[in-house]
Chain A
């Protein structure tokens, strides 16, 4: 049973989120401005915070900065501001994720789950030194090549053989961009200049499986016009 604090100056939005999260078995606390958030945080044990940016009294950015002085709980920003600059600001002051309004309730729930898993379960893994042979990871993405297993935030992901090979290759070289041709040569071991979408479709399938929002991937990033890479989130 996790406690989640939802804060938005629109009561209807907090109410709606409450309904969704309670359906998933979370306990929901509600607040309508930054000050209320800080108050609730002092009174209750909160495991995750969903917070709006534009609020009266104390806005989201300052609220997060206040919280981050004492706590490392996962924070998801929920904002109407969809510009890149806003997202970067939000993530820089200490938010763990950024969801823009109007949001897909299911996606929000998925992100909540993911954050909670990382905060609880994976928090331990990152702590022990990663010396294990044949295990590769980046953030919540983890492949154990010994068991041929891929997990995201602890959840097992079912991949096809090719998908597994591609993801493993990219994860082994995380942070490095590979062109379509390079991926093809390394996985299929064939030297061919392709004119079809074999690699790109596989990549998309992998993204759809491991990412919450495949269009805004967290792990398997698309570098348009150049290639693909797995983001190195441990650095």
Chain B
């Protein structure tokens, strides 16, 4: 029963291996999931955008804004560089107006107004001019000297002239603060020129793209209407004149849907929330300025983004990547939870004894904890550097080959981590956590050195002197010294060997005494020093033990004798009682009750007799005070003979006996007559307590060098006591004591006798089932025939 409980706690190596593999798998899954998530968040998307619709992502909104802005820019470039649909670079641009974002052709200052063509062509010079302007220090004295210095440094760089024909330097010279003015003019000129150049380039590229095609907007997924409410300029790819017309177009078309509509006054954009697809769009376009301070913006999209532009590509990518990412997040979370559970389980499972009841311990557990932790730390550092190398080579969240590499590294790191913690768990279970540490060992050794200071100091001094003497003789006495050293060392060897022999004999003595030979004496002759002292102590210990055992045996014997003597004293009056009861029975008594009373007396006096006899037997046997005449006997014959003795009693008790014996004699070593007492007690018990009309089964088995006989019967009463309890003295199976014959000593006597003869006596009682077993080691060849 104990066994099965023990077994439940065992976990096979296989299970443990499976758990480790599962954990490694979890780590791999986590790595894959985290890198997938990392890929998601790697610059493009936010984690918070997971699970949202495509229209709510910043990528989409950026796409829309970029599209709208680039289209507006195109329109504006066309407005700047074209006149009636034809390229026209003869327009006049006031550079000071241009940099402050004003287009007011009526108030142009001729001194700062250039032809568009000149400004575009001036672009290659802007680098040099800008460099000069950049070098100017604002803290410079804005006096004439500085101005002249600036003019001389920009000599020949101002290659284009404004419409007025006077150079910027000349214009500045006549103004109030020439130095400040000129640096501002040059700065504006450079800025305007480079900006216009860039815009012209993009205009040219656009124009070439549309070369030969009608000047018609290419169809896209984004629809917009942006209008500047003050300048009354508007841009749109919808065929509409104003905002309300654009709105009605979108509302009519079922494929289109509003993304955003709102209007801005100065810096405050108010979104028309009825026509906004989502809050992300509101916050995005509220902060986005397309045309300037006062504008009205309307943006719509075609559902499903059918046109193959960048929005379409982003949409398709999002549709595939988003579920994968969500999936990996869920899977990753699951893997993390599973990993935690498995980790805790491994810690619980590890260190339990396996089936062979060996502690599950490996070399790693035997090395001191600090060293183990150090090994794990070094491994962790190595892995950390490998991981770092990986990071430098590619992004934080690599894919493909690098991902595999990363997963392998993480698994390795995890296994080290797991090993360390499992080891700690095992140490805790085996109670070696604190003990198996370098610190503890140091403390223990130093404590030993301190407590054993006398011996060890003496040894230390002698050892040092010896080494010193060796050295001195070798160093200063030449050849003679070598001879002396050899003699000295041989003497030491002899001494050590003698010491060792002494120790061996002491050890031999201890071993003998521990085996039970308490009278063993170590020969003290020839022993010296510590060995002699130890030998004396061991001999005294043996004597002490012998005395203790002797007095115990004596006490036990005295007890048995006391019981025997008292019993003898009881027997004499009992003899009279029995005899006179018998005599009374023979009398012709008139009283009708007399016979009944005499019956009671007769029965009880007989019972008293058997109780006294059993008491004597039990006390003798339990004190081991029985002479055994051991011989090789045949248990099979024994059972047959004993059963023959009891045949009639069994019949009288209404029992049928079923003999199931082995075919050949089964030899055991026992005292035949004592073994008969065992069987006699057993059979008496059966005859007394077995249920009438039931079967008594006596069977035999020979196996594994043991001969076993079993006696099974059905009890007449429900047995409330267990088998072991029934074997104790004075216990009987039925609860109401004294109701039946017998002393309750029978089984105890049988058990003690069997064990004295080297056998085993067991009883099992379960409800009405009652079985006794007698087992002996098979003697000699075992089953040779007579």
Listed in ascending order, the chain A residues whose CB lies under 8 Å from chain B are 10, 12-13, 16-17, 19, 54, 80-84, 101-103, 105, 179-182, 193-197, 199-201, 203-204, 222-227
Q: How many whole Å from B640's CB to the nearest CB in chain A?
A: 5
A11 to B: closest C-beta gap in Å: 9
Q: Give chain A residues whose Cβ lies under 8 Å from the Cβ of B659.
A: 195-197
A-B contacts, 28 of them at CB < 8 A, read A10-B576, A12-B576, A13-B576, A16-B576, A16-B579, A19-B583, A80-B572, A103-B575, A103-B578, A105-B582, A179-B634, A179-B786, A181-B786, A195-B663, A200-B641, A200-B644, A203-B641, A204-B645, A222-B676, A224-B633, A224-B673, A225-B631, A225-B637, A225-B670, A225-B672, A225-B676, A226-B631, A226-B633
Other-chain residue from B568, B574, B647, B672 in contact with A223 (beta carbon distance below 8 A): B672
Tell me the complex Cα distance, A13–B572, Å. 8
**Chain A positions within 8 Å of B32 at CB level:** none
Question: Which of B569, B571, B638 gathers the greatest number of chain A CB atoms within 10 Å?
Answer: B571
Extra 4 A-B pairs, beta carbons < 8 Å, given A80-B568, A179-B786, A224-B673: A13-B579, A16-B580, A54-B568, A225-B668
B574 partner residues in chain A, CB cutoff 8 A: 101-102
Check if B661 is an interface residue, CB within 8 A of chain A.
Answer: yes
Cβ-defined contact, A197 with B640, below 8 A: yes
Q: Smallest Cβ distance from A57 to chain B, in angstroms?
A: 17
- The verdict on A10 contacting B572 (CB below 8 Å), with A102-B578, A197-B643 known, is yes
User: Smallest Cβ distance from A70 to chain B, in angstroms?
Assistant: 30
Cβ–Cβ contact B575 & A10, under 8 A: yes
In the complex where A105-B582, A200-B643, A225-B638 touch, is A182 in contact with B786 (Cβ < 8 A)? yes
Chain B residues near A224 (CB, 8 Å)? 633, 638, 641-642, 672-673, 675-676
- Determine whether the beta carbon of B641 is less than 8 Å from that of A13: no
- Docked CA distance A137–B750 (Å): 37
CB distance from B531 to the nearest CB of A (A): 48
Q: Say whether, besides A16-B583, A181-B786, A225 and B634 are in contact (CB < 8 Å).
A: yes
Taking a contact as CB atoms under 8 Å apart, the answer to whether A82 and B613 are in contact is yes
CA A194 to CA B641, docked complex, whole Å: 12
What residues of chain B lie closer than 8 Å to A54, measured between beta carbons?
Answer: 568
**Nearest-neighbor residue (CB-CB) of A228 within chain B:** B641
Of chain A, the residue at the smallest CB distance from B668 is A225
The 6 closest A-B pairs by CB, nearest first: A200-B644, A225-B633, A224-B672, A16-B579, A80-B571, A225-B638
The reply to whether B609 and A227 contact each other, CB–CB distance below 8 Å, is no
- Residue of A13, A19, A195, A199 with most partner-chain B CB within 10 A: A195
Report chain B residues within 8 Å CB of A181.
Answer: 786
Complex contacts, B569 vs chain A, CB 8 Å: 80
Q: Judging by beta carbons under 8 Å apart, are A227 and B637 in contact? A: yes
Whether the pair B645, A200 counts as a contact (CB closer than 8 A) is: yes
CA of A223 to CA of B631, assembled, Å: 11
Taking CB atoms, residues of chain B closer than 8 Å to A180 are 637, 640-641
Bound-complex Cα distance A194 to B662 (A): 10
Give the residues in chain B near A201, CB-CB below 8 Å: 644, 647
Interface mask (B555-595 → A, CB under 8 Å = 1, otherwise 0):
00000000010001101111111111011000000000000
Distance (whole angstroms) from the CB of A48 to the closest CB of chain B: 19
Residues in B neighbouring A200, C-beta threshold 8 A: 640-641, 643-645, 647
Cβ contacts B627-657/A at 8 Å (1 or 0 each): 1000101110110111111010000000000
Which residues of chain A have C-beta atoms less than 8 A from B664's C-beta?
Answer: 193
B623: shortest Cβ distance to chain A, in Å?
14
Residues of B with C-beta under 8 A to A17: 579
How far apart sit A19 and B580, CA to CA, in the bound complex (Å)?
10
Q: Judging by beta carbons under 8 Å apart, are B609 and A102 in contact?
A: yes
Once bound together, how far apart are the Cα atoms of A105 and B634, in whole Å?
A: 37
Residues of A within 8 A of B564 (CB): 83
Residues of B within 8 A of A83 (CB): 564
Whether, in the assembled complex, B532 has its beta carbon less than 8 Å from a beta carbon of chain A, the answer is no
Contacts of A84 in B (CB 8 A): 627
